[in-house]
Amino acid sequence: MSKPLLQELILTLYGLYAPDGLLPVAGLVGLLADLDVDEGAARSTISRLKSKNVLERADGAGPVRYSVSPAVLDRFQAGDERIFTPQRSEPGDPWALVVFSVPEAERKRRYELRTELTSLGFGFMASGVAIAPATVLDQALERLAARGLSRYLEHFTGHYGDAATLRERIGQWWDLGGLDAQYADFIDDYGPCLQQWSTRGKAAPQLDGPGRREAFALYVPLLTRWRRFPYRDPNIPLELLPVGWRAPQAKMLFLQLHGLLAAPALDHAEAVLAPSS
């Protein structure tokens, strides 16, 4: 089973269990321990994220606490809608084009621009021309503006001229085979978990402490791994995708596991983070 990066797990923990944006370091390390992360690796990664200004130390007396920087938190929260309720475009909906040109002296910015567009689900028609359903354009422009990349691009919306060849072209603009294989891996990895937890939920709706810890240890990596898909997947109309496209099956699997695991995982996290008496 593919494992998320440690820093991704930390951001997921903040998104799930830090309603005020703050987590005590000791509590965060404790939660990571329940994800089989040893204390040394946890504290080293927390320190590294602090040095990169991803985490910020909160002022005040008492236990040391860190928050996620506002820029990262805004991006993280904005992604929740796309993760849980992604908007799939319909046949005939307009497409967004982003045309960009970056001077050779700033080629690092060109790499950043391509990386951002790819992470937002854009495919590439040519070296400086990216395409995606128009539904993602507003979020893309906001993200690119925040990174100082807007000055390198122009953007347009419109309809593709030759509808008869559109399905073929989509297969050229995106690596659909690679993405579908990732969905297949997700289904293979978590399908058995759904069977186990569905049976377990019917037999024992109220989990004990170890059961809640087990739910937590499965749920946090599950959500962290799933977060990648809504950005890699451009949510192209199903009619234009290959027959047997696995995204709907993978999404249903994720939502079912989310329904089974989220509540007991929250109970476990709150118990770990509760102030000691």
**Fold assignment, 6-76:** Arc Repressor Mutant, subunit A (1.10.10)
b/e 78-111 (16+ beta carbons within 10 angstroms → b): eeeebbeebeebeeeeebbbbebebeeeeeebbe
Rounded to an integer, what distance in angstroms lies between the CA atom of residue 77 and that of residue 6? 19
List the chain pLDDT tens, one digit each, 277 residues.
667 789 999 989 998 998 778 899 999 999 999 999 999 999 999 999 999 888 888 876 678 888 888 766 666 665 566 677 667 888 889 999 999 999 999 989 999 999 989 888 899 999 899 999 998 898 889 889 988 999 999 999 999 888 789 999 999 999 999 999 999 999 999 999 998 998 876 555 577 888 999 999 999 999 999 988 877 888 888 889 998 999 999 999 999 999 999 999 999 999 999 876 4
Closest among 183, 150, 205, 177 to 252, alpha carbons compared: 183
Fold classification of 95-158 is Alpha-Beta Plaits (3.30.70)
Instruction: Please give the model's pTM, rounded to 2 decimal places.
Output: 0.86
Residues 261, 273: Cα–Cα separation, whole Å: 18
| pLDDT tens digits, 216-271 | 999 999 999 998 887 788 888 888 999 899 999 999 999 999 999 999 999 999 99
What is d(CA 135, CA 112) in angstroms, rounded to the nearest whole number? 22
Q: What is the pLDDT of residue 74?
A: 61
Give the integer Cα–Cα distance in Å for 47 and 240. Answer: 45
Give the chain's largest Cα–Cα span: 68
- Concatenate the DSSP letters of all residues of the chain into one string: -PPPPHHHHHHHHHHHH-TTSEEEHHHHHHHHHTTT--HHHHHHHHHHHHHTTSEEEPPSSSS-EEEE-HHHHHHHHHHHHHHHS-----TT--EEEEEE---GGGHHHHHHHHHHHHHTT-EEEETTEEEEEGGGHHHHHHHHHHTT-GGGEEEEEE--S-GGGHHHHHHHHS-HHHHHHHHHHHHHHHHHHHHHHHHHHHH-SS--HHHHHHHHHHHHHHHHHHTTHHHHS----GGGSPTT--HHHHHHHHHHHHHHHHHHHHHHHHHHHSPP-
Task: Assign 3-class secondary structure to 202-254.
Answer: HHCCCCCHHHHHHHHHHHHHHHHHHCCHHHHCCCCCHHHCCCCCCHHHHHHHH
Separation of alpha carbons 107 and 181, rounded Å? 31
Alpha-carbon torsion 184, 188, 193, 196, what sign?
positive
Question: Are the C-beta atoms of 122 and 69 separated by less than 8 Å?
Answer: no
Q: How is the chain split into domains, by residue range?
A: 6-76, 95-158, 175-273
Looking at residue 277, what is its pLDDT? 41
